[in-house]
Chain A
């Protein structure tokens, strides 16, 4: 089937893309001003000591050789050691990744939970009160920065009710849900307006199509019509918007994790940057890039699953 060969082709494209991303991350080290070896051994080290470390780390080899070695190491899951903690970067990242994965998953879930019904309502009642209210709320959501929304949720919801911890990440499943809810909501409030807007627009164009008229003429309920004729067709184009959104969400997470004191990747990246911990920065950068690539790949796959015509248009 054509759709599946499209997905396979898309998967193959990921390989050169990853090599390119690794190259950029690798060059980060090369173009950073200052001598990384000097950073490791300190200002008072002698030239001999510097050479020794340089040789130990094989930094005298040709750049391409170093790049090849870097790719090979990454392929084995080795991202080097943090300058600061002397721990492997992978173990630094691993725990933080769990937190951010929770945040993103819950954030996307809430985004869809808010956006889909709102977009359907706005499209069905376009131009009327429900549409105006949803549009107004969307504008409001867009104009409030995430850190402010986060602080407001903390002040107005978390503290008075005591239902949600004001910061940190829980241990048990229930605790985690509670500690991730408000950050995820902050994320969702910022990203829903985009999804609502795009889904509303594509739903309206689908609602005006002939095939929806055919569907209407078949005499099913409105709910059935939306489910079988409208939603899937409208979702096709909004999937791309959602994927783009997730790219932004990742960076939104940096702010939100700081606001809610969540020990996630965003917080880790901020710490690594502050400490000029290059291997850690490289590790985070690489991971963020991988996540974005993976999300785009998933969105392409989702699109191919939703729309049988994808093979033709690509």
Chain B
């Protein structure tokens, strides 16, 4: 049963904002199987990116992560780790903005070769050859020439491919993707998504893909987690979550996405604003914006309750969504 590659339990990220402690990630638990693609969806400020960064210990300055992180680095059972153990040893990350995430003063080939040089002890020439091989693998044309270029000389799509090649260079078992397609054109987006799926197949790599774009997540992910106000409110197989949401927030999110909408129905925004981490509501955090909220929602303590073998929701009245 324990095929898990990654186990995150009760992850909490605290930060200081103008001297006031806030908890933008508050009790996130999730597991990931080998070769699985898990999507995390949520509005900006829902804590999805911080969750991802906490797994690799790359929180912004002042951020502190608490909780239990376990990773199966060498094929065994998941074991507790500190982030620096898995840097270049099993977990890589792809950031949203390939321009700001690539060191502007290193040549593309050297950037990709950095991992192999550090972890596989390769010399300069071997690492460069490996970099060119990786560039070919991620579909960069004329890699020999482009390896000598600087990041700013490449297009956005190519830069993101370079980023993916950098992430792949240490042969990770898990790649964390922080909105890697958000900054790209739609056509380039599809290429990158195709590339990720292809790489997953070839290397049996697991991916956690964070995005606010439900359409992208629906296309790519095996399972989908929905985050709201620093908590996972619903998790389950992607198609089930999208077509039969078990949490009013998920339902509201789907209703606000054009591609999942019936032909004549109007798009519905979610009333109100995403909550500020300094002022999360007590009880169910979505209750103030929820069309189905009842009295007891205000006292509901957070718990992700299984509704079937592979699904769970934090809503205490999921049955409200079953009614037409």
What is A's interface to B at a CB cutoff of 8 Å? Answer: 207-220, 224, 228-229, 232-233, 236, 306-309, 312
Among B53, B100, B115, point to the contact of A218 (Cβ < 8 A).
Answer: B115
Contacts of B106 in A (CB 8 A): 228-229
- In the assembled complex, the CB of A195 is this many whole angstroms from the nearest CB of chain B, namely 19
B119:A211 contact, CB within 8 angstroms:
no
Bound CA span A44–B170, Å? 89
B258 touches A (CB below 8 Å): no
Among B53, B102, B118, point to the contact of A224 (Cβ < 8 A).
Answer: B118
Given A224-B118, A232-B105, A216 contacting B87 (CB threshold 8 A): yes
A213:B87 contact, CB within 8 angstroms:
no
With CB as the reference atom, state the residue of chain B lying closest to A308. Answer: B150
B118:A308 contact, CB within 8 angstroms:
no
Among B104, B115, B170, point to the contact of A309 (Cβ < 8 A).
Answer: B104
Bound CA span A153–B203, Å? 66
- In the assembled complex, the CB of B263 is this many whole angstroms from the nearest CB of chain A, namely 41
B93 touches A (CB below 8 Å): yes
B56:A217 contact, CB within 8 angstroms:
yes
With CB as the reference atom, state the residue of chain A lying closest to B112. Answer: A218
Contacts of B105 in A (CB 8 A): 232-233, 236, 306-308
Given A219-B84, A309-B150, A312-B152, A214 contacting B119 (CB threshold 8 A): no
Given A214-B166, A228-B114, A308-B152, A219 contacting B119 (CB threshold 8 A): yes
A216:B60 contact, CB within 8 angstroms:
no
B104:A307 contact, CB within 8 angstroms:
yes
B88 touches A (CB below 8 Å): yes
Bound CA span A300–B56, Å? 38
Additional A-B contacts beyond A217-B56, A233-B103, A233-B104 (9; CB < 8 A): A211-B104, A215-B114, A216-B58, A216-B87, A217-B58, A217-B91, A218-B118, A218-B170, A219-B115
- In the assembled complex, the CB of B258 is this many whole angstroms from the nearest CB of chain A, namely 30
B118:A217 contact, CB within 8 angstroms:
no
B87:A217 contact, CB within 8 angstroms:
yes
- In the assembled complex, the CB of B110 is this many whole angstroms from the nearest CB of chain A, namely 8
A219:B104 contact, CB within 8 angstroms:
no
- In the assembled complex, the CB of B95 is this many whole angstroms from the nearest CB of chain A, namely 5
Among A212, A218, A309, A312, point to the contact of B114 (Cβ < 8 A).
Answer: A218
Bound CA span A229–B110, Å? 11
The 10 closest A-B pairs by CB, nearest first: A219-B88, A219-B87, A308-B150, A210-B101, A211-B103, A210-B100, A220-B118, A213-B58, A232-B105, A218-B114
A215:B89 contact, CB within 8 angstroms:
no
Bound CA span A307–B106, Å? 9
| Per-residue interface assignment for chain B, residues 31 to 66, with 1 indicating a CB less than 8 Å from any chain A CB and 0 otherwise | 000000000000000000000010010101100000
Bound CA span A215–B56, Å? 12
Contacts of A309 in B (CB 8 A): 104, 150, 152
With CB as the reference atom, state the residue of chain B lying closest to A214. Answer: B101
Bound CA span A233–B103, Å? 8
Contacts of A216 in B (CB 8 A): 58, 87
With CB as the reference atom, state the residue of chain B lying closest to A222. Answer: B84
- In the assembled complex, the CB of A146 is this many whole angstroms from the nearest CB of chain B, namely 35
B61:A208 contact, CB within 8 angstroms:
yes
- In the assembled complex, the CB of B304 is this many whole angstroms from the nearest CB of chain A, namely 28
A219:B102 contact, CB within 8 angstroms:
no
Contacts of A211 in B (CB 8 A): 100-104
Bound CA span A229–B111, Å? 10
With CB as the reference atom, state the residue of chain B lying closest to A2. Answer: B153
Contacts of B60 in A (CB 8 A): 208
B88:A217 contact, CB within 8 angstroms:
yes
B97 touches A (CB below 8 Å): yes
- In the assembled complex, the CB of B44 is this many whole angstroms from the nearest CB of chain A, namely 16
Bound CA span A309–B95, Å? 21
- In the assembled complex, the CB of B173 is this many whole angstroms from the nearest CB of chain A, namely 14
Among B61, B97, B115, point to the contact of A210 (Cβ < 8 A).
Answer: B97
With CB as the reference atom, state the residue of chain A lying closest to B119. Answer: A219
Contacts of B170 in A (CB 8 A): 218-219
A218:B166 contact, CB within 8 angstroms:
yes
- In the assembled complex, the CB of A225 is this many whole angstroms from the nearest CB of chain B, namely 10
B92 touches A (CB below 8 Å): yes
With CB as the reference atom, state the residue of chain A lying closest to B118. Answer: A220
Could you tell me which residues of chain B, from 95 to 141, have a CB within 8 Å of some CB in chain A? Answer: 95, 97, 100-106, 114-115, 118-119
Contacts of A209 in B (CB 8 A): 100
B87:A218 contact, CB within 8 angstroms:
yes
Contacts of A229 in B (CB 8 A): 103, 106
- In the assembled complex, the CB of A192 is this many whole angstroms from the nearest CB of chain B, namely 24
B104:A213 contact, CB within 8 angstroms:
no
Contacts of A228 in B (CB 8 A): 103, 106, 114
Bound CA span A224–B93, Å? 19
Bound CA span A6–B93, Å? 36
Contacts of A215 in B (CB 8 A): 103, 114
Bound CA span A214–B88, Å? 11
Bound CA span A217–B166, Å? 10
- In the assembled complex, the CB of A309 is this many whole angstroms from the nearest CB of chain B, namely 5
Contacts of B119 in A (CB 8 A): 219
- In the assembled complex, the CB of B104 is this many whole angstroms from the nearest CB of chain A, namely 6
- In the assembled complex, the CB of A312 is this many whole angstroms from the nearest CB of chain B, namely 7
